[in-house]
Chains A and B, each alone.
Chain A
Amino acid sequence: MSLLELKDVHAFYGGIEALKGISLTVNEGEIVTLIGSNGAGKSTTLKSICGQVKVTGAITFDGKNITDQAVHQTAAAGIAHVPEGRRIFPRLTVKENLEMGAFSVKDKDVVSQMMERVFAYFPRLKERLRQLGGTMSGGEQQMLAIGRSLMMQPRILLLDEPSMGLAPILVEQIFEIIRELNREGMTILLVEQNAYQALQIASRGYVIQSGEMIMEDEASVLLESRKVKEAYLA
């Protein structure tokens, strides 16, 4: 059954139509990737899902209509969005950043359990609990951003360009963790410019161009497609 479904979604920025009726589904347990060039509408798609952009059309999550729902309600419903540029709270400590991820979790024991789980993925964070988020390196910030989103025990993780600006070795690490999260059952919608790596870990993929979905297929098929190769894997 599909966990997340977008049907004929249009989004406008001022007078410009950023999404021209896109449709997309993510099934439980999948990694789905959305690839495309700069400005194609990848981030806008994620922002539409979490309610940061006003849209027309229908967005359903777990059978419920969440179109234009307030951002904090969508998050509380189980959609964790790791935004582009990581957006760590710079003057909160690592621990406080993680605690904010768990803002909607009432039970303190659950919060500390989740924190231990995050430390299992990212041991680095445990060593730096009292450090201010803004003073960490880019790779550490990305780890914190993903860890923070896991704190809310989401049902789906929306990742916006997690590899951006990271050294190749860190990109490897981040993708490895994404794969591991998925093996443990996390559903993931991954937006990437790094199309080759994204398609390698994804089960299915969508290609977006100028606000329209131009292709949709198994990731392995997209990897072999001449069109994708020429435009995004060159």
Chain B
Amino acid sequence: MTVVRLPAYAAEQHVSQVRVIRSEWTKLRSLPSTIWCLPATVVLVVGVGAGYATLRVARPPTDLSAFDATAISLAGVQLAQFAVGVLGALFVSGEYATGSIRVSLTAVPARLPLLWGKAIALGVATLLSAVPAVLVAFLVGQRILAGRHLNVGLDAPGVARAVLGGALFLTAVGLLGLGLGALLRNTAAGVSALFGLLLGPQLVLGLMPESVSDAAYRYLPAPAGAAVSAVHQDALSLSPWSGLGLLCLYTAVVLGLAGWMLHRRDV
């Protein structure tokens, strides 16, 4: 019979928010299936941007005044938002699916630090992947567009804001996915809600009279967040920072609700 030999461990072990963030970072980096979402995001942003730029070089615009070279190189962001959002939802719903949420909450019985820890770990990881992704996508895209002299520089008015705003947009969508996963406690429900929230309202608006849809479109989560990446603003959009701010507000509301439910509900 094996006898258990385990030394005592006398060191201090108080839970703190910083420690929980480190714990969540360990969780994020130690799951191959989720951490691969981040390089996939980078590939998607750069690849789609380069592809779309190549397409526009082959079929140059007739009206140069409406041509937004920045938006073309950042086209991949519109796809990558789903990868990032799914990562966010999985990061928390996976714990409910496996039952490991109970282990986590036994270690962090105050509960809320766990959700904030996840949000900060995921937010930082997403931002750290998204910033290089949008920068590389922009530079590669402009290099391709330069073939027809359609390119712009990062120092042109509004361009740097649009490029880095794309990274902020992706981070906000990742956190929105996290909030939905935490609120609904289920991967399928969280991912469906995310897609529904990003795509659904536009479909519903399409069925409404034009006067209504034109007025409301700018306040929908995805179009509001996309405004930050527009160099040429169109009349239907919010201003860049108000748009991103509105998306962040939606995200904060979802995360707040998730925190409230996490605090109250049995697990």
Physical interaction between A and B: no
- Could you tell me which B residues sit within 8 Å of A by CB distance? none
- Could you tell me which A residues sit within 8 Å of B by CB distance? none
